[in-house]
Amino acid sequence: MQRTEQQFELAESFLAGGVSASIRLNRALGRPMYFDRAEGCRLWDLDGREYIDLCTSHGATLLGHGDARVRAAVEDVLARGAACSYENELHAELARLICETVPCCERVRFTGSGTEATLHCIRLARAFTGRPKLLKFEGNFHGYHDQVMFSLGTPADRLGPEDAPTPYPASAGLTPGIEEQLVLAPYNRTDLFEQIFHRHAGELAAVICEPVWYNAGCILPKPDFINALRELTRQHGVLLIFDEVLSSFRMGPGGAQEYLGIKPDLCTLGKAVGGGFPLSAFGGRREIMDRLMPRGDCQHSGTYNGHPVPVAAGLAAIGVYRQSGFYESIRRVGDRLKNGLNDLFARHALPGRVQGLGARFGIYFGVERAETYRDLLAHRRDLMLRFVAAAINEGVYFHDYSGAACHHGFCAAMTLDDADEALRRLEQAVIKMAE
Ligand SMILES: Cc1ncc(COP(=O)(O)O)c(C=O)c1O
């Protein structure tokens, strides 16, 4: 038996379900992947097999694994004792860099995870507006706290009408009745958004969205849709929150808000913000952020907020994202992978299609048009799982996301040669899939 399989048996004796996070059980393999070593765009498992990484820590390691600049910053902090739970000079330095880089940020606060960032943003929106409800879009993902754990992977027969989608819980154990404070609307349907917004406008504290919907692969908001979000929220004193946990730094230093040219009132930043270390943040207009304690009356605190190790890593990483040429290289590699994969699917008569922006992309099987959540009902999860299993077998690592149309991506350490090598391995995978 290989070490990987032994490890799963051992882990199951002590870790609930054998994993530290529920999605790490890879449905294409029936076990988690176990990585022992990583460098740049490559990973090595416990049995020494090498993989080209097209998951990149779900987007956290945008610079690649073990980046020397991030490592030097972390080692410097460790050498000075890494005292946590206190303020130091790095916090304001990173906050300044973020305010200079991300358009809506006039003030910033640090959190550990993206889940915490959206939780605090939503609480702050309620405190600032004095209103109870949150409008969220079908299928948009905002982390694991109770308020936003609805309408994710909803079965087709439980979606409800398009003009009043049903808040289907994505977990057992959610606070009873919490869905009464949630209003759902379909993404990219401007007409329905306007109708639903007007029905609830006086009760809404915030509208939250993924400004580039990477959790459905890669779906861009239509211009009239994203403009309607900005205009209607502004007119009615509702706060617009861009959840940029995944989109921040992905296609440009200012994230989706810079790319789309729309300034939200508040935003969250995650994953790439910490250069592969656990850091997230939320920020926005000064008058809203000033409502946080100790100036205001809205609580946000935590032992590990702004831990010096991820803050130092984030400072080093954002410094690199701001260097000229960084995103040109991402675009070149992204185009090579996207075109190469589309070409591969076409040559081998597989109904696969890739949509991407910046360093992430989605793969859709059997979907003609991917714009709304309901468009994705046609996605062939069975083919996606077979593709992921075949790719892993040939040395290309995609996360499985239970076969859903979700996000994949690459890091800045990936060269065009690496991309070509990945495509050669994937060609073998696709050939074996057809056999
Ligand atoms: C848009 C978005 N928001 C929030 C989260 C939650 O972040 P975390 O996993 O760090 O809690 C994610 C994670 O994938 C995300 O993509």
pLDDT digits (tens, 9 = 90+) for 179-201: 999 999 999 999 999 999 999 99
Ligand 1 site, residue 215, Cβ cutoff 6 A: yes
Distance (Å) from CA 384 to ligand 1 centroid: 22
Q: Which tokens go with 291? A: 């409502």
Q: How far apart are the first and last CA of the chain?
A: 27
Mean pLDDT along residues 210-221:
98
Q: Probe ligand 1: pick from 115, 134, 144, 277, max atoms within 8 Å of CB?
A: 115
Q: What angle do CA 385, 56, 246 make, to 5 degrees?
A: 95
Ligand 1 site, residue 113, Cβ cutoff 6 A: yes
pLDDT digits (tens, 9 = 90+) for 150-179: 999 899 999 999 999 999 999 999 999 999
Query: What letter represents residue 121's amino acid?
Result: C
pLDDT digits (tens, 9 = 90+) for 84-101: 999 999 999 999 999 999
Contacts of 156 (CB under 8 A, 6+ apart): 377
Q: Report residue 397's pLDDT band, with 50, 70 and 90 as the boundaries.
A: very high
Burial degree of 103 (CB within 10 A; 0-12, 13-18, 19+): middle
Q: Are 207 and 230 in contact (CB under 8 A)?
A: no
Q: What is the mean pLDDT of the chain?
A: 97
Residue 380 neighbours by CB distance under 10 Å: 18
Q: Probe ligand 1: pick from 58, 61, 142, max atoms within 8 Å of CB?
A: 142
Beta strand pairing call for 133-137 and 204-209 = parallel
Q: Assign residue 177 a region (left: φ > 0; alpha: ψ between -120 and 50; beta: otherwise).
A: left
Beta strand pairing call for 35-39 and 42-45 = antiparallel
Burial degree of 182 (CB within 10 A; 0-12, 13-18, 19+): middle
Kindly report the protein residue whose alpha carbon is nearest to atom 7 of ligand 1: 114
Q: Which tokens go with 53? A: 């990484």
pLDDT at 22: 94
What is the percent of the chain with per-residue pLDDT over 90, rounded to a whole number? Answer: 97
- Looking at the DSSP bridge assignments, the partners of residue 243 are 268
Sheet holding 280-284, edge to edge: 107-111, 280-284, 266-269, 239-244, 204-209, 133-137, 182-185
| Dihedrals phi, psi of 242, to nearest 5 degrees | -95, 120
Cα 82 → chain centroid:
28
pLDDT at 4: 85
d(CA 144, CA 142): 7
Q: For 16, what's the count of Cα atoms within 13 Å in the CB-facing half-sphere?
A: 4
Mean pLDDT along residues 403-423:
97
Q: What angle do CA 120, 121, 126 make, to 5 degrees?
A: 95
**Domains along the chain with CATH numbers:** 3-66+324-434 (3.90.1150.10), 68-321 (3.40.640.10)
Q: Which atom of ligand 1 is nearest to the CA of 210?
A: 1
Distance (Å) from CA 180 to ligand 1 centroid: 23
Q: Which atom of ligand 1 is nearest to the CA of 215?
A: 16
What is the radius of gyration, based on Cα positions, of the chain? Answer: 21
Crossing angle for the helix pair 416-434 and 326-347, to the nearest 10 degrees: 20
314 DSSP 8-state letter: H
Q: Are 321 and 62 in contact (CB under 8 A)?
A: yes
82-85 contacts at long range (C-beta below 8 A, 24 or more positions apart): 82/307, 82/308, 82/309, 83/308, 84/303, 84/304, 84/307, 84/308, 84/309, 85/303, 85/304
Q: Report residue 1's pLDDT band, with 50, 70 and 90 as the boundaries.
A: low
Contacts of 100 (CB under 8 A, 6+ apart): none
Contacts of 365 (CB under 8 A, 6+ apart): 350, 351, 352, 353, 379, 380, 383, 384, 387, 405
Q: Report residue 435's pLDDT band, with 50, 70 and 90 as the boundaries.
A: confident
Ligand 1 site, residue 273, Cβ cutoff 6 A: no
pLDDT at 353 over 90: yes
Mean pLDDT along residues 334-353:
97
- Looking at the DSSP bridge assignments, the partners of residue 298 are 292
Q: Report residue 211's pLDDT band, with 50, 70 and 90 as the boundaries.
A: very high
pLDDT digits (tens, 9 = 90+) for 325-338: 999 999 999 999 99
Of residues 271, 268, 245, 213, the one with CA closest to residue 404: 213
- Looking at the DSSP bridge assignments, the partners of residue 408 are 361
Q: Are 283 and 102 in contact (CB under 8 A)?
A: yes
Ligand 1 site, residue 409, Cβ cutoff 6 A: no
pLDDT digits (tens, 9 = 90+) for 234-272: 999 999 999 999 999 999 999 999 999 999 999 999 999
Q: Are 366 and 403 in contact (CB under 8 A)?
A: no
pLDDT digits (tens, 9 = 90+) for 41-56: 999 999 999 999 999 9
Q: For 394, what's the count of Cα atoms within 13 Å in the CB-facing half-sphere?
A: 21
Q: Are 45 and 26 in contact (CB under 8 A)?
A: no
